[in-house]
Amino acid sequence: MIRKGTYVLAISLGADKEIQVGALGTLFFKKGLYCYVGSAMNGLDQRVSRHLSKEKKLKWHADYITTAADSIEAYISYPDFIPECDLAAIAVEEGMEPFCKGFGCSDCRCYTHLFKTNTKVLKGFIQRCGMFPFVSMAEPPSK
């Protein structure tokens, strides 16, 4: 079964880091918690599993921070989901700080899809948006 929907990555950095993020250049990330919002209309499980993996070709902006993360938690919403651009707007309403113009949103008009946050704000956001912890429904790769 291929699910489609939206997802949130809660990305934790245990130390300040400078990370080269594709065409965005070198970005300075302060230690702490970041929230990335995204969508996957052709395979939610595969997309989120990819983001959770450290071993991957760097393709999307999120890949650069997820490979440098100390920990990542994923939350999803399907089949009834809030579009990712609406999630970005709600993140700001909930008090998250937009991180970098153009991060993760080259295909829309949003300012960003990456936010600096804290645990309390993130929990409220997850609850408000009706997200739930990611459990993969994808079939394991054959050996």
Burial of 71-96, coded b for 16+ CB within 10 Å and e otherwise, reads ebebbbbbeebbebbebbeebeebeb
pTM over 0.85: yes
pLDDT tens-digit readout, 109-131 = 999 999 999 999 999 999 999 99
Placement of tokens 């918690």 in the chain: 33
SS3 annotation, 18-32: EEEEHHHEEEEECCE
If we measure between CA atoms, which residue out of 130, 140, 141, 139 comes closest to residue 7?
130
- Residue 142's pLDDT is 44
